[in-house]
Each structure stands twice: as C-alpha cells, then as structure tokens.
Amino acid sequence: MSGYLPDNRAGRDGAVPWSPPPGEPRPARLQPPGHGPVPVQPLWTAQPHGRTGTAATVLLIIGSSVALLLVAWFLWWQLGTVAFLLCGILALVPLGICLLGLRWVDRWEPEPRSALLFAFLWGAGISVGITLLAGPYVAQALYLMLPGLAPEFVGPVLEAPLVEETAKGLGVLILVLVRRSHFDGPVDGIVYAGTVAAGFAFTENILYFGSALISSGGLGVELGFVFVLRGLFSPFAHVLFTSAIGLGLGIAVRRGGALRITAGFLLGLAAAILGHMFWNGGTALVSGGFFVFYFVLQVPLFALAVAGVVLLRRAEQRLTRARLGEYAAAGWFTPQEVLMLSTRAGRHQALAWAGRFGARSTMKTFIREATRLALTRQQIAAGRNLAANRAAEQTLLQALTRTRGAMLARAGVA
C-alpha cells in the first residue's frame, strides 16, 4: 500500500526477530487470541487514546484544586497582590523547564492527562499544605530528639526533606492505587513523581522569590540571585528527589503484590529523603561554596539521572517490540508494523505518512493503543491479575481493529 515501508531488521521471511526472555515460558493459556483465518489487512502503525480518568481521579482533582486555591490564598495574604503575581510569573520559568523535560521522558507511552493534572495539583497544593501544616511540628520533635544540633541545620537538612518528600510521595502512591492500569513501570513512576515535584517546586519558588523580593524592598540583586539559583541552575532539584519514589514504585508495580509496592514506596522515599538532605546540606562537604558543590557533584548526578532515564526508555521500546511480536504471530499485526511501532524512527515515518491524508491523530491513537496492548501483554505474561488484564486485552484489540479500519478508510485503502 502507499507509504508502506519495509524494515531491514526483519528476517528474510519477514518474521519479527524475537524470542521469549529467559525464564518466561509461554503456556498455551497465555497465548494472544488469534485473529482468525483472514490475514490482517496491512496498515502502518497507530495507538489508543489514554482514558480520560475514573470517578476517583475526578474527585481527587477537585479536592486538590480546592487545596491549591487555599494555598494560593495563603501566598497572596503573605506576599501581597503585586509580589504574588510577579513571583508567580517568575516561577513559571522553572516550571516550564521541568514540564518540558518530563514530556520528553513521557513521549514513548504518554500518561493520561487527568492523572498528570492530579499529580501537578497534588504537588502544588496538597503537598505544600501538608508541609506548611506539619513542618513546624516535625521540626519541634527533631529539636527535642536532637538538642545539640543548630536550628539552621535541623530545618533545611532534616525537617524539610522528611516532610516534603513524604507529602509528595503520598500523591504518587495514590496514583498507584487509583490509576493502576496506567502505572506500568519505572518510566511511568518517574513521570508521575516528577510532575508532583514540579508542582511542589512551582509553589515553593513563589514563596522563595517573594521572600527575596520583600526582604530586599523590591526588584534587585537578591531576587535575581535567587531566581538564577533556583529557576535556572537547579529547576530539576525536586524532580530528581521525588523521582526516586516513582522509580521504586514503578519497579514494584511491574513485579506486583501489595508487599512489594509498600517496600518500593518506602525504599524510594528513603532515597528521596537522603538525596534531598544531601542537596540541602552538601555545601558543607565541599570547600568553595555552592558553585563548587554544584559543578563537582550536582551536575554529574543530574547527568547520571538523565542517562538512567534513557536506558529505561530503551528497555520499554524493547518490551514493546517483544510483546507486539506475539500478536504479530497471532495475526494482529504484520512484522513490519511491529518494527515501526517499536522504534522512534518507525513512528515518525508512520505519522508523516498519515499526515499526508489528514489522519495524523488517528495514527497517534493507533500507536497509543498498541503500546498499551504491549504493556497489558507484559502483565499477562507475568501472570498478574489475569482476569482484568485479559478483559483489557480484548478491549484494546477491538479498539485497534476499529482504529485500523478508520485509518484504512482515510487512506483510501478500505
């Protein structure tokens, strides 16, 4: 058909070069359902829309929105109208940087917008509210338990990491509970946790910028220094801390089990707290002040985090190719479609082809549905929640069939 490109990585007979991972047998009861005696009509590639959200998500969004309004009122009351608006505009800069970075991480299998909205609202509203309310009590308890430590150490190095990471982490844990079908692994966990952290940092930056503005009596060097330090040098600080929670939960969710999820949350939370403590108190470890600490330790740590995300994304691509290969063997895809759906270059080619006849959005739907199907197949292959995942598999296969028909009709093939 027009625009159909072969892929040199397919074998000579056109088969997808895939074999089951070691230790993962494929019993007959877990085989993908066959397509029937009629071969699938070749298309390119496409995926399904993420679900708009459940009733629980809607209620959580409403509750988080109310909390954010209360926090905004508190900030306005503390700073005044002019400072509140100015600092809110300045805080949009690091927020934009963080959201662009998280969008890059989330490009392979985008998360539902409703879940991301809740994550942001939780971070910007509820987690800040928890920090403001619980922080003084936790600090007082730490003063009593550690009377020999200076208050300027207890607050930023002990109390802030404990309270802030716990408050943010609870939002990520709630997403595991209410949006389990879209929380598939480490990359999803990093995206959700990073979005919570970006929301928290946005509100916290308004407070820091406002404090600098008021203490200096207006626009000046102090506000500029704080903006550069927090908004340009370290916009991803909170994202890096809280991503440890998302990573721990993502690994646990992929393996399944309430005990594993609890352990993943606690281990991720411990890592986030320690990372936050190290960030806030690290300048004492390096002679030369903040900038030496920043370039000697923080920049390399950030580079390692980015490299880790790249490796996780490549692992998801390999998983997509392996699982869709099973469906190709059952007649749901052609081998070339699997190769296109499981590579970035193939997806770009498919979207460009679909765009020639105004079906780019339909192709995006097909790609999303196929990726969701691969992740569902992974859950089935692992033997987790078989009844629910089998039902989801059937729903996705029906959706893919409808999307394929719509795509062929638009292309003038059907």
| 34 Cβ neighbours under 8 A, 6+ residues apart | 330, 331
| Global confidence as pTM | 0.74
**Res 3: pLDDT:** 36
The rounded percent of the chain whose pLDDT value lies above 90 is: 30
Highest mean pLDDT among 24-28, 36-40, 147-151, 366-370: 366-370
284 pLDDT band, cuts 50/70/90, is low
For residues 50 and 400, what is the distance between their CA atoms, to the nearest angstrom? 13
Q: For residue range 43-102, what is the model confidence (pLDDT) as tens digits?
A: 444 343 334 446 778 888 898 999 999 999 999 998 989 999 999 999 999 999 999 999
Task: Note whether 219 and 113 are within 8 A (CB).
Answer: no
**Res 171: pLDDT:** 94
69, two tokens: 């309004």
**Res 53: pLDDT:** 46
Task: Note whether 119 and 62 are within 8 A (CB).
Answer: no
- Interval 326-346 mean pLDDT: 84
Query: Integer distance in angstroms from the first to the last C-alpha of the chain?
Result: 11
**Res 99: pLDDT:** 93
CA atoms within 13 A on the CB side of 210: 23
Q: Minimum mean pLDDT among 90-99, 207-216, 307-316: which range? A: 307-316
290 pLDDT band, cuts 50/70/90, is low
Q: For residue range 337-392, what is the model confidence (pLDDT) as tens digits?
A: 888 888 888 888 888 888 888 888 888 888 888 888 888 888 787 777 777 778 88
Q: Minimum mean pLDDT among 31-35, 160-164, 181-185, 192-196: which range? A: 31-35
More confident residue, 298 or 331: 331
DSSP-based helix, strand, coil % in the chain, nearest 5: 75, 0, 25
Output the CA–CA distances (angstroms, integers) from residue 26 to 2, 279, 319, 340, 391, in the order listed. Answer: 36, 46, 15, 24, 19
**Res 230: pLDDT:** 86
| Residue 13, pLDDT above cutoff 70 | no
158, two tokens: 């002990």
| 312 Cβ neighbours under 8 A, 6+ residues apart | 185, 186, 187, 190
34 pLDDT band, cuts 50/70/90, is low
| Residue 285, pLDDT above cutoff 90 | no
Q: What is the residue-averaged pLDDT of the chain?
A: 80
- Interval 2-28 mean pLDDT: 38
**Res 33: pLDDT:** 55
Q: For residue range 96-153, what is the model confidence (pLDDT) as tens digits?
A: 999 999 988 887 777 888 889 999 999 999 999 999 999 999 999 998 888 888 877 8
161 pLDDT band, cuts 50/70/90, is very high
Write b or e for each residue in 144-172: b if 16 or more Cβ atoms lie within 10 A of its Cβ, otherwise e.
eeeeeeeeeebbebbbbbbbbbbbbbbbb
**Res 28: pLDDT:** 35
| Residue 199, pLDDT above cutoff 70 | yes
| Residue 201, pLDDT above cutoff 90 | yes
| Residue 16, pLDDT above cutoff 50 | no
Task: Quote the distance between the C-alpha of residue 231 and its chain's center.
Answer: 21
Highest mean pLDDT among 179-183, 217-221, 259-263, 379-383: 259-263
Using CB atoms within 10 A of its CB, is residue 306 exposed (0-12), middle (13-18) or buried (19+)? middle
Task: Note whether 286 and 292 are within 8 A (CB).
Answer: yes
**Res 20: pLDDT:** 42
Q: Minimum mean pLDDT among 70-74, 178-182, 241-245, 401-405: which range? A: 178-182
411, two tokens: 């292309």
**Res 339: pLDDT:** 83
For residues 80 and 57, what is the distance between their CA atoms, to the nearest angstrom? 33
